[in-house]
Amino acid sequence: MDRTGKPALAVVGATGAVGTVMLQILSQHADIWGEIRLIASPRSAGRKLAVRGEEVEVVALCEEAFDGIDVAMFDVPDEVSARWAPLAASRGAVVVDSSAAFRMDPDVPLVVPEVNPHAARIRPRSLVAGPNCTTLSMIVALGALHAEFGLRELVVSSYQAVSGAGRAGVDTLRRQLSLVAGTELGTGPGDVRRAVGDDTGPFPEPVALNVVPWVGSLREDGWSSEEMKVRDESRKILGLPDLPVAVTCVRVPVVTTHSLTVHARFEDEVTVDRAREILATAPGVVLCDDPASGEFPTPADVVGTDPTWVGRVRRALDDPTALELFVCGDNLRKGAALNTAQIAELVAAEFTGAP
């Protein structure tokens, strides 16, 4: 706790795609923090960023940067978290990490406050992890349905925004769009590829005027790391270690907000009416489902909002125990920064004794 009697917070990675949204969220949420210290790489040291209406100077990541810090949010690449999060914890901070570095560590809880808030209290390593943005884009809605119906199987396809790959992903899409805008490209094999050139940024193929069935790196038997994350993390958060999960991750030319189609099979027969009631009342979920009047969630409307938006709720035609859903969530807000902020707020309440 600092002089104000409030917990001191560090935001590590304050200059990144997630960090930028984090500073907005910290400026919008109840002001529960004492000092907010902004940390990034030495490249950014000395830059000034606005948070809570004040300009705060960014400091370079080093051990001393955690002196006096109670809670440290890490919004940095995996390898940076892997090295520095335990160091921050050893200097007395509770770390809330957005990266993949600790998510599957059995001694690190993986927390979504709407689904398993109790898990954040048990922190053998003083670390709490938040899930991947794709898992987070659906798990709040699925957690609500699971609590009532008992989930038995998931089949998921994602339509992932480029900001899931950080600032570099957004820069790449914008650059490629500027090269194809106003042209007749997209009518012959390879014409988009030739126009955007060999530098496809963090993506293996052009992403403008395209969809790319690949997110992450290659794992066993042709699965991608992103697909394995969705499977492993969903199982851990829901406490269903043997849940069958099949995932195909696809990148689409959307700046921010991931979308997913979900086929969810439950223990017994389900009704659409009850599913809609659950989704309409679940905290953190908005039901947006009236196809007769063209109402369903799309990234163009969901971006910049907090909830998980669910539409196209149908019972599977060939299985009365299964539902089909279309889900959208802002990958930088609930998909990363908001979830991390919510976890940090749970931890801060322990410091201040707030309910």
Ligand X SMILES: NC(=O)c1ccc[n+]([C@@H]2O[C@H](COP(=O)([O-])OP(=O)(O)OC[C@H]3O[C@@H](n4cnc5c(N)ncnc54)[C@H](OP(=O)(O)O)[C@@H]3O)[C@@H](O)[C@H]2O)c1
Residue facing ligand X at closest CB distance: 16
Applying CB under 6 A, which of residues 166, 240, 252, 306 lies at the interface with ligand X?
166
Q: Which residue in 8, 73, 80, 141 binds ligand X (CB under 6 A)? A: 80
Of 38, 40, 247, 282, which one interacts with ligand X (CB under 6 A)? Answer: 40
For residue 331, say whether it is annotated as part of any ligand binding site: yes
Ligand-binding annotation for 224, yes or no, is no
Tell me how far the alpha carbon of residue 270 is from its chain's centroid: 28
Catalytic hit among 146, 249, 258, 288: 258
For position 133 contacting ligand X by CB under 6 A, the verdict is yes
What number of other Cβ atoms are within 10 A of residue 25's Cβ? 17
In the block, tokens 């899409």 appear at 173
Task: Indicate whether 75 belongs to the interface with ligand X (CB under 6 A).
Answer: yes
Q: CB of 324: closest distance to ligand X in angstroms?
A: 25
Contact status: 19 vs ligand X (CB under 6 A) = yes
Among 7, 8, 15, 135, indicate the residue that binds ligand X (CB under 6 A): 15
Q: Which is nearer to ligand X, 226 or 289 (CB)?
A: 226
Q: Of 8, 9, 10, 13, which one interacts with ligand X (CB under 6 A)?
A: 13
Q: Which two three-digit tokens encode residue 83?
A: 């090295």
Catalytic: 328?
A: no
Residue 99 interacts with ligand X (CB under 6 A)? yes
Per-residue binding letters, 223-262, with ligand X (x by CB under 6 A) = ----------------------------------------
Closest C-alpha to 258, from 349, 340, 162: 162
Q: Which CB, 168 or 243, lies closer to ligand X?
A: 168
Give the Cα separation of 17 and 251 in Å (integer).
17
Return the residue of 29, 91, 125, 167 that touches ligand X, per CB under 6 A.
167
Whether 258 is catalytic is yes
Which positions touch ligand X (CB under 6 A)? 13-19, 40-41, 43-44, 61, 75-78, 80, 98-100, 132-133, 163-164, 166-167, 331-332, 335-336
- Residues belonging to the binding site are 15-18, 43-44, 103, 160, 163-164, 251, 331
- Residues belonging to the binding site for substrate are 160, 251
